[in-house]
């Protein structure tokens, strides 16, 4: 086969793959929005208010718990740890954690946080569980973005007499902030979409939570219950409405996060 033919085939394959990827995204989003946008109105929104609040609270508390720990762990592993063997071992453990099915995290959260720690079904118990679940994503993505910071930045800073902490805060983290934000956004996506682990730790109570110690029902869990267990002619429409709302919330969070850090390292 001539090089030219191979070239053409390869570029066709590449185009086809990207086309299929975009198609599936558009098809799923389109299908949900087509069926869901009609269900959205003020009453529907008020009905779902408890779930919206619960979802936002779960996201907020999980991120609050997990992001600082994850970023610090990544900084330790990439910037401080000297023993390469130990780092590799820890990274292997982190990757293994990332591969565990979420329902097992849910089971752990149920046994440990809900029962043993006596947190009951609560937003806190769920957020702690989800916090552990998203930790691998945050650590690994942050590590990767720290790797992208050229060593010449570190050298330049040290050569001016900067300490390690100053170099971290003023040079390395600002240069890696894009990647760190990506880590947070990916985590939010996982939290919003998570059902099994949340079902087992936050519970299914459909009311406005009055704090992190109360139980609640996130949008994903609500969606699951609508599709799986609700009876009535309208259940499916409501499920699509809920899904649409989920997509809108995620989109808003992503845009808001990017707005917060706009103009950084371009």
Partner 1 sequence: MDSITKIKTENLELFYGEVQALKNINLDIKEKEVTALIGPSGCGKSTFLKTINRMNDLIVGCKINGKVIFDDIDIYGQDIDIITLRKKIGMVFQKPNPFKMSIYDNIAYGPRIHGVKKKSSLDEIVEKSLRKAFIWDEVKDRLKTNALSLSGGQQQRLCIARALAVDPEVVLMDEPTSALDPISTLKIEDLISELKKNYTIIIVTHNMQQGARISDRTAFFLSGEVIEYDLTDTIFTNPKNPKTEEYITGRFG
Which residues contact partner 1 (rule: CB under 8 A)? 82, 150, 152-163, 166, 170-171, 174-175, 265-266
- The nearer residue to partner 1, 75 or 219, going by C-beta atoms, is 75
Identify the residue whose tokens are 């682990």: 197
- The nearer residue to partner 1, 6 or 264, going by C-beta atoms, is 264
- The nearer residue to partner 1, 1 or 159, going by C-beta atoms, is 159
Give exposure, 211-237, as e/b (b: 16+ Cβ within 10 Å).
Answer: ebebbbbbbbbbbbbbeeeeeeeeeeb
Question: Cα separation of 128 and 140, whole Å?
Answer: 19
Q: Supply the minimum distance, in Å, between the C-beta of residue 132 and partner 1.
A: 32
- The nearer residue to partner 1, 144 or 206, going by C-beta atoms, is 144
Instruction: Classify burial at 190, counting beta carbons within 10 Å of its beta carbon; exposed 0-12, middle 13-18, buried 19 or more.
Output: middle
Tokens representing 92 are 């292997």
- The nearer residue to partner 1, 68 or 156, going by C-beta atoms, is 156
Q: Supply the minimum distance, in Å, between the C-beta of residue 172 and partner 1.
A: 10
Q: What is the Rg, in whole angstroms, of the alpha carbon atoms belonging to the chain?
A: 22
Q: Supply the minimum distance, in Å, between the C-beta of residue 71 and partner 1.
A: 19
User: How many angstroms separate the Cα of 102 from the Cα of each of 78, 116, 142, 167, 199?
Assistant: 27, 20, 21, 37, 11
Q: Supply the minimum distance, in Å, between the C-beta of residue 52 and partner 1.
A: 38
- The nearer residue to partner 1, 6 or 164, going by C-beta atoms, is 164
End-to-end CA distance of the chain: 43
Question: Cα separation of 9 and 162, whole Å?
Answer: 53
- The nearer residue to partner 1, 96 or 163, going by C-beta atoms, is 163
Q: Supply the minimum distance, in Å, between the C-beta of residue 86 and partner 1.
A: 13
DSSP assignment of 21-83 equals HHHHHHHHHHHHHHHHGGG-SHHHHHHHHHHHHHHHHHHHHHHHHHHHHHHHHHHIIIII---
Q: Supply the minimum distance, in Å, between the C-beta of residue 149 and partner 1.
A: 9
- The nearer residue to partner 1, 60 or 153, going by C-beta atoms, is 153
Question: Cα separation of 117 and 62, whole Å?
Answer: 17
């Amino acid at each position: 086969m001539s090089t030219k033919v191979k070239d053409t085939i390869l570029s066709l394959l590449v185009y086809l793959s990207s086309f299929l990827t975009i198609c599936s995204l558009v098809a799923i989003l389109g299908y949900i929005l087509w069926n869901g946008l009609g269900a959205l109105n003020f009453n529907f929104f008020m009905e779902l208010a408890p779930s919206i609040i619960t979802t936002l609270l779960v996201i907020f508390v999980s991120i609050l718990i997990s992001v600082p720990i994850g970023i610090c762990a990544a900084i330790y592993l990439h910037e401080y740890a000297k023993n390469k063997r130990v780092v590799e071992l820890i990274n292997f453990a982190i990757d293994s954690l990332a591969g565990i099915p979420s329902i097992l995290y849910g089971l752990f959260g149920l046994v440990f946080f809900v029962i043993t720690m006596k947190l009951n079904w609560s937003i806190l118990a769920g957020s702690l569980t989800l916090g552990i679940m998203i930790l691998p994503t945050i650590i690994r993505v942050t590590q990767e973005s720290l790797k992208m910071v050229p060593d010449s930045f570190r050298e330049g800073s040290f050569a001016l007499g900067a300490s390690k902490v100053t170099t971290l805060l003023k040079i390395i983290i600002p240069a890696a902030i894009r990647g760190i934000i990506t880590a947070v956004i990916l985590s939010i996506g996982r939290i919003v979409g998570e059902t099994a682990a949340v079902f087992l730790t936050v519970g299914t109570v459909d009311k406005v939570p009055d704090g992190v110690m109360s139980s609640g029902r996130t949008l994903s869990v609500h969606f699951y219950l609508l599709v799986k267990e609700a009876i009535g002619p309208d259940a499916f429409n409501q499920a699509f409405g809920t899904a649409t709302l989920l997509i809108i919330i995620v989109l808003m969070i992503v845009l808001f996060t990017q707005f917060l850090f706009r103009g950084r390292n371009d």
